[in-house]
Amino acid sequence: MEISYHPVCCFIFILLVVCIHSCCDGVVEAAEAASTSDQRRTYIVHVHSNSVMSHRQWHQSFLPVNSSQGLLFSYKHAMSGFAAMLTEEEVEALSKKDGFLHAHPSKDYKLHTTHSPNFLGLKRPPIEGSNNNIWRDTFSYGNGVIIGILDTGISSTHPSFDDSGMSPPPEKWKGSCEPPIICNNKIIGARSFIFNSSISSNASEISMDENGHGTHTASTAAGRFVDDASVLGSAKGTASGIAPNAHLAIYKVCEKSSCPTASILAGMDKAMEDGVDVISLSLGSLEESLYNDPVSIASFKAITKGIFVSASAGNRGPRLSTLGNTSPWIFTVGASTIDRKILAVVKLSNGNTFQGESAYQPTDFNSKSFFPLVYPESNTDIYSPYCENVTTLKTVGVERKIVLCNAGIVSREEAGSNVQKAGGVAMIWLPPSRYGFRTSANADVFPTSGVNYEDGYKILNQYYNNPNLTATIEFSGTQIGRDYPAPTVASFSSRGPSKVTPGFVKPDIIGPGVNILAAWPYPVGAFNVSPAFNIISGTSMSCPHLSGVAALLKSAHPEWSPASIKSAIITTSYWNNNDLNSIVDQFDRRPASFNVMGSGHVNPIKANNPGLVYDITEPNEKYYLPYLCGLGYSDMNVSIFTGKKSMCSDVKTTIDGVDLNYPSVVVALGKFNNYSRSFSRVVTNVAGLTNYYYYNLTVSPPHGVIVNIEPTSLEFTSNTGRQLRFTVSVSFDAKSRGYASPLEEYGYFAWISMDKQIIVTSPIIVTKEGNFYIG
Ligand SMILES: *[C@@H]1O[C@H](CO)[C@@H](O)[C@H](O)[C@H]1NC(C)=O
Ligand SMILES: *[C@@H]1O[C@H](CO)[C@@H](O)[C@H](O)[C@H]1NC(C)=O
Ligand SMILES: *[C@@H]1O[C@H](CO)[C@@H](O)[C@H](O)[C@H]1NC(C)=O
Ligand SMILES: *[C@@H]1O[C@H](CO)[C@@H](O)[C@H](O)[C@H]1NC(C)=O
Ligand SMILES: *[C@@H]1O[C@H](CO)[C@@H](O)[C@H](O)[C@H]1NC(C)=O
Ligand SMILES: *[C@@H]1O[C@H](CO)[C@@H](O)[C@H](O)[C@H]1NC(C)=O
Ligand SMILES: *[C@@H]1O[C@H](CO)[C@@H](O)[C@H](O)[C@H]1NC(C)=O
Ligand SMILES: *[C@@H]1O[C@H](CO)[C@@H](O)[C@H](O)[C@H]1NC(C)=O
């Protein structure tokens, strides 16, 4: 899988996936720029809710009486308002009507396994019927839970969506399947919300997941067990999603790699109506004020129905503050690597070797013979090192040589195919610097080694110093284990801090998102194997892993709220890799800060027994509304969320992000608060009184900071009930010299059970006057 940050290079389906979350800015701007007054565009119109008429009638009343264009979508649950094709004059006119709040053009958001369940500690029993399999026995493989996937549709006939042995959907389920998809007990709903009439009239579009993204994400969350799954024979094993017995409801809201916000809202609206338990959104845009973010607005509504919303963080790493989907009511998922490599080792005649990767493992490649290397530079074609032109490659003379090709203009597949056409024997793919130490195992069409940036740089250097250098590639197949320290934080994974929602750590979590094998609608790469699987990367891939984990937890603990599930996953996450060293950033191999890895890496087994959770039981009006007011939003801005005339002045106390009962903490200290801040938290005991009623505190403050917590132990008795409150005071240590602190430093507090089996950990980041410096 190639990561590309330019839409132009997202040529082949595989490429789309990773850049999918990342190349939306240009699109949004372009869409907003192209407008003339008589042109119709899709607008999203926010209005007050109305209890007298049906929502459709009420929304219709805003449209011009004799308009040829009706409502595109009349939203009932996701927000108060509708989508329609309107001219600027019509928008102007309807904005004068009573009940109007705000109108804005629909934007385009971008779409952002054999082994990954095992890596998460989820192992299928070798023999059905054997004991002690928590995946099956506790989590029931996600039985009974409904995951809504908002994506590019689905290839429903893939064996990953076979329903044999599955129970029918729960009674509350209201969804259905649009022909030609026929619902079974796995896929219990399938609908398209692509509104372009030339497309939506053709219902068969929904089955046509032409992109592959939606099929991949759905099978990652809840694909069934499929034996002998592999891509081109690599990464062979039994493929399955994280919650193989969960039901899937498919909402097609993206066409190609583009997801109109009007469609996303319509998909979420229907998902809420149908009765899903989890919404999985592998799409987004760079964060902006929450009232301008339809995903934030609709998710705000979804949590009131007890729906867990998990969304990808974005693929704009390694730069900081590149997140999307950062609302406190959304679970924001970054991407990590797993301990699997599909090796294509570059060997140079000077004895140096470099571990590259490729999912294409040709058996007829002679790795005993060494071939001359060539970096195709041409005076007449400045793009020649990108292997973008067969004619140039021929002119340069690549025949019988191993060709070094730069990423950046054409896809890896296209470059490989060009080299092949020009007579080369193999390709070494040189990624850009932002890859850092990342390698990718693509379904290549031609013998290829995808090395990391550092290694590519070294190979090029040695080639320049020794024109006689020869090379070969050894295809050593799939390797799993501790030789490959994992997890690391994917170099592309978007990082915090959030610029719009301070107060808690974002991303919330990291989970597998690099070189993930999952179902694909059609064969890929050089071989025509069926059923088809593909290996791709992105936070688009990590998000459905976490949606699956949420489904497992929901299946084991149907009574847990979305906030409890989130808390359980966060407080039990871990910070060390399989080598027992700190999880590092794949970009620079330095220990990953909380801004990079979020609160930690998901551990589903531990999340099942979190001991204490930071739950939220207050209604939005009393809780998140004061928070929105605390962000400095206007009355109009908060009305967008409530559909009512809402006044921040009515809300007695505003809440800062740090005052939310969040399981992670970001505190800003400055002159404005005398370099000190106190806040409280409430924990709910979900382990019961028998074994886990007593917790002792441990605190590890960030450097130069004092953290005081009262009380220092929690004892749950029948008198105290299940909930206890504690207070946290954070201040700068006057005795400490300066505030500078190594980025690697982890501050945290944790509640530890008497038998030390349960550790409820909350990471702390302290910032000075809003500048993030510790974490
Ligand atoms: C709308 O259509 C009706 C019936 O076709 C017509 O009588 C009326 O004048 C039209 N109104 C406007 C504002 O064009
Ligand atoms: C609808 O789809 C057609 C064909 O793909 C395209 O030409 C047209 O611009 C689309 N219209 C809108 C409103 O997106
Ligand atoms: C729907 O699309 C398919 C494939 O693109 C086409 O064969 C079929 O005729 C279309 N059906 C309708 C009703 O437009
Ligand atoms: C490749 O280069 C040749 C010679 O410069 C040029 O004629 C041709 O158009 C190029 N092909 C492509 C696909 O750019
Ligand atoms: C490369 O090979 C040529 C011919 O065998 C030889 O003359 C030359 O010294 C070699 N260069 C290096 C840097 O080894
Ligand atoms: C948010 O509030 C600001 C200030 O009142 C206003 O300019 C802006 O239009 C509002 N946006 C929305 C979507 O409510
Ligand atoms: C900060 O500390 C000073 C001196 O102790 C005190 O006078 C002032 O009221 C404090 N300000 C705040 C915001 O607590
Ligand atoms: C908790 O801390 C108290 C005070 O330090 C200590 O006496 C007690 O043994 C601790 N309990 C456990 C279970 O560690």
| Pairwise CA distance, residues 570 & 275, whole Å | 25
Q: Is 631 part of a structural domain of the chain? A: no
| Pairwise CA distance, residues 541 & 440, whole Å | 14
Listed residues 447, 480, 513: the one ending a domain:
480
What band does 207 get if pLDDT is binned at 50, 70 and 90? low
Mean local confidence (pLDDT), 249-268 = 92
| Pairwise CA distance, residues 662 & 370, whole Å | 57
**DSSP type of residue 203:** G
> Would you say residue 520 has pLDDT above 60?
yes
Question: Given this model, what pLDDT does residue 662 score?
Answer: 98
Triad 419, 425, 428: Cα angle to 5°: 70
Residues 598 and 462 in one domain: no
Residue 247: strand pairing partners? 146
Q: How far is the CA of 199 from the centre of ligand 2 (A)?
A: 8
Please say if 585 is a catalytic residue: no
Question: Given this model, what pLDDT does residue 485 score?
Answer: 85
Residue 759: strand pairing partners? 752
pLDDT tens sequence across 283-311: 999 999 999 999 999 999 999 999 999 99
**DSSP type of residue 701:** P
Torsion sign (Cα): 736, 740, 744, 747: positive
Question: Given this model, what pLDDT does residue 178 score?
Answer: 87
Residues 355 and 468 in one domain: yes
Owner of token pair 């070494």: 428
The helix, strand and coil proportions of the chain, stated in percent and rounded to the nearest 5, come to 25, 25, 50
Question: Given this model, what pLDDT does residue 196 score?
Answer: 58
Question: Given this model, what pLDDT does residue 70 score?
Answer: 84
Give the pair of three-digit tokens for residue 677: 């801040």
Closest ligand relative to 108 C-alpha:
2
> Would you say residue 771 has pLDDT above 60?
no
CA distances (Å), origin 474, targets 114, 453, 471: 24, 19, 10
Q: How far is the CA of 496 from the centre of ligand 7 (A)?
A: 31
Q: How many CA atoms lie within 13 A of 497 on its CB side?
A: 24
Q: Please give all residues whose beta carbon lies within 6 A of any atom in ligand 5, as ranges.
A: 466, 468
Give the lowest-confidence range in 41-50, 89-98, 201-210, 528-537.
201-210
Mean local confidence (pLDDT), 396-423 = 95
Q: How far is the CA of 464 from the centre of ligand 5 (A)?
A: 13
Atom of ligand 4 nearest to the CA of 381: 5
User: CA-based Rg of the chain, rounded to a whole angstrom?
Assistant: 26
Residues 141 and 240 in one domain: yes
pLDDT tens sequence across 650-704: 777 889 999 999 999 999 888 888 889 999 999 999 986 677 789 999 999 988 8
Three-state SS for 488-537 is CECCCCCCCCCCCCCCCCCCCEEEECCCEEEECCCCCCCCCCCCCEEEEC
What band does 209 get if pLDDT is binned at 50, 70 and 90? confident
Question: Given this model, what pLDDT does residue 645 score?
Answer: 87
Residue length of the chain:
775
**DSSP type of residue 225:** P
Listed residues 448, 480, 512: the one ending a domain:
480
Q: Determine what percent of the chain is predicted with pLDDT higher than 90.
A: 69
Q: Are strands 470-480 and 509-512 parallel, antiparallel or unpaired?
A: unpaired
Q: Are strands 371-374 and 308-312 parallel, antiparallel or unpaired?
A: unpaired
Overall number of domains in the chain: 4
Does the CB atom of residue 65 touch ligand 1 within 6 A? yes
- Candidates 152, 183, 203, 298; CA nearest to 248 is 183
| Pairwise CA distance, residues 227 & 236, whole Å | 9
What band does 32 get if pLDDT is binned at 50, 70 and 90? very low
Residue to substitute in 27, 198, 255, 258 for testing ligand 2 pocket (most ligand atoms within 8 angstroms of CB): 198
Catalytic residue among 46, 213, 557, 601: 213
Q: Is-contact 512 541, C-beta < 8 A? A: yes
Listed residues 456, 480, 504: the one ending a domain:
480
What band does 767 get if pLDDT is binned at 50, 70 and 90? confident
Residues 154 and 289 in one domain: yes
| Pairwise CA distance, residues 649 & 159, whole Å | 56
| Pairwise CA distance, residues 614 & 749, whole Å | 14
Q: Is-contact 766 669, C-beta < 8 A? A: yes
> Would you say residue 410 has pLDDT above 80?
yes
| Pairwise CA distance, residues 418 & 485, whole Å | 34
Q: How far is the CA of 195 from the centre of ligand 2 (A)?
A: 10
- Candidates 746, 355, 773, 775; CA nearest to 576 is 746
Mean local confidence (pLDDT), 633-657 = 89
Owner of token pair 């801004």: 595
pLDDT tens sequence across 452-496: 999 999 999 999 999 899 999 999 988 887 667 899 999 999 999
Whose alpha carbon is nearest atom 14 of ligand 8?
754
Does the CB atom of residue 384 touch ligand 4 within 6 A? no
> Would you say residue 2 has pLDDT above 70?
no
Whose alpha carbon is nearest atom 4 of ligand 3?
204
Whose alpha carbon is nearest atom 4 of ligand 2?
198
> Would you say residue 773 has pLDDT above 50?
no
Question: Given this model, what pLDDT does residue 161 score?
Answer: 97
Q: Is 23 part of a structural domain of the chain? A: no
Q: Please give all residues whose beta carbon lies within 6 A of any atom in ligand 6, as ranges.
A: 102, 291-292, 634, 636-637, 640
- Candidates 605, 613, 757, 753; CA nearest to 692 is 753
Three-state DSSP class for residue 485: coil
Q: Is-contact 597 583, C-beta < 8 A? A: yes
| Pairwise CA distance, residues 59 & 76, whole Å | 10
**DSSP type of residue 717:** -
What band does 190 get if pLDDT is binned at 50, 70 and 90? very high
| Pairwise CA distance, residues 484 & 475, whole Å | 17
- Whole-number mean pLDDT of the chain? 87
Does the CB atom of residue 299 touch ligand 4 within 6 A? no
Give the lowest-confidence range in 411-420, 554-563, 621-630, 686-695.
686-695
Residue to substitute in 199, 200, 201, 202 for testing ligand 3 pocket (most ligand atoms within 8 angstroms of CB): 202
| Pairwise CA distance, residues 371 & 609, whole Å | 56
Q: Is 629 part of a structural domain of the chain? A: no
Residues 542 and 593 in one domain: yes
| Pairwise CA distance, residues 53 & 56, whole Å | 8
Whose alpha carbon is nearest atom 6 of ligand 4?
391
Catalytic residue among 108, 151, 455, 615: 151
Give the lowest-confidence range in 8-12, 86-90, 542-546, 748-752.
8-12
> Would you say residue 441 has pLDDT above 60?
yes
Specify which of 20-29, 250-259, 614-623, 727-736 reaches the highest per-range mean pLDDT.
614-623
> Would you say residue 341 has pLDDT above 60?
yes
| Pairwise CA distance, residues 387 & 367, whole Å | 23
The continuous run of DSSP H or E covering 665 comes out as strand 665-669
Please say if 130 is a catalytic residue: no
Residues 303 and 362 in one domain: no
| Pairwise CA distance, residues 287 & 312, whole Å | 12
Q: Is 441 part of a structural domain of the chain? A: yes
**DSSP type of residue 216:** H
Give the lowest-confidence range in 111-125, 437-451, 632-646, 741-755.
111-125
What pTM did the predictor assign? 0.89
- Candidates 551, 597, 591; CA nearest to 573 is 597
Mean local confidence (pLDDT), 66-79 = 86
Residue 281: strand pairing partners? 150, 311
Residue 51, Cβ density class (10 Å: 0-12 exposed, 13-18 middle, ≥19 buried) = exposed
pLDDT tens sequence across 550-579: 999 999 999 999 999 999 999 999 999 888
- Helix and strand numbers (H, E) in the chain are 19, 35
Question: Given this model, what pLDDT does residue 769 score?
Answer: 64
User: Cβ contacts of residue 279 below 8 Å, gap of 6+?
Assistant: 147, 148, 150, 268, 271, 299, 302, 307, 308, 309, 310, 547
Question: Given this model, what pLDDT does residue 126 score?
Answer: 58
Residues 427 and 367 in one domain: yes
> Would you say residue 748 has pLDDT above 60?
yes
Q: Is-contact 582 475, C-beta < 8 A? A: no
> Would you say residue 12 has pLDDT above 80?
no
What band does 204 get if pLDDT is binned at 50, 70 and 90? very low
Residues 181 and 300 in one domain: yes
Question: What is the spatial order of strands in the sheet that 308-312 belongs to?
Answer: 187-192, 247-252, 146-151, 278-281, 308-312, 331-336, 509-512
| Pairwise CA distance, residues 774 & 771, whole Å | 9
Q: Is 565 part of a structural domain of the chain? A: yes
Residue 319, Cβ density class (10 Å: 0-12 exposed, 13-18 middle, ≥19 buried) = exposed
Residues 83 and 228 in one domain: no
Give the lowest-confidence range in 8-12, 184-188, 625-629.
8-12
Q: Is 679 part of a structural domain of the chain? A: yes
Q: Please give all residues whose beta carbon lies within 6 A of any atom in ligand 8, as ranges.
A: 696, 713, 754
Q: What is the CATH number of the domain that holds 94?
A: 3.30.70
pLDDT tens sequence across 536-548: 999 999 999 999 9
Structural domain containing residue 737: 612-616+660-768
Q: Are strands 771-772 and 759-768 parallel, antiparallel or unpaired?
A: antiparallel
Question: Given this model, what pLDDT does residue 631 score?
Answer: 94
Residues 226 and 326 in one domain: yes
Question: Given this model, what pLDDT does residue 130 score?
Answer: 57
Please say if 151 is a catalytic residue: yes
> Would you say residue 525 has pLDDT above 80?
no
Residues 302 and 356 in one domain: no
Q: Is 8 part of a structural domain of the chain? A: no
Q: How far is the CA of 67 from the centre of ligand 1 (A)?
A: 10
Residue 280: strand pairing partners? 149, 310
Three-state SS for 360-413 is CCCCCCCCCCCEEEECCCCCCCCCHHHCCCHHHHHHHCCCCCEEEEECCCCCHH
| Pairwise CA distance, residues 323 & 285, whole Å | 8
Q: How far is the CA of 249 from the centre of ligand 3 (A)?
A: 23
Residue to substitute in 379, 380, 388, 391 for testing ligand 4 pocket (most ligand atoms within 8 angstroms of CB): 391
> Would you say residue 13 has pLDDT above 80?
no
Q: How far is the CA of 467 from the centre of ligand 5 (A)?
A: 8
- Candidates 547, 540, 519, 664; CA nearest to 599 is 664
> Would you say residue 647 has pLDDT above 90?
no
What band does 59 get if pLDDT is binned at 50, 70 and 90? very high
| Pairwise CA distance, residues 439 & 443, whole Å | 13
Q: Is 262 part of a structural domain of the chain? A: yes
DSSP codes, 597-635: HTT-B--HHHHT--SEE----S-GGGTHHHHHHHTT--H
Residues 321 and 407 in one domain: no
The continuous run of DSSP H or E covering 697 comes out as strand 694-700
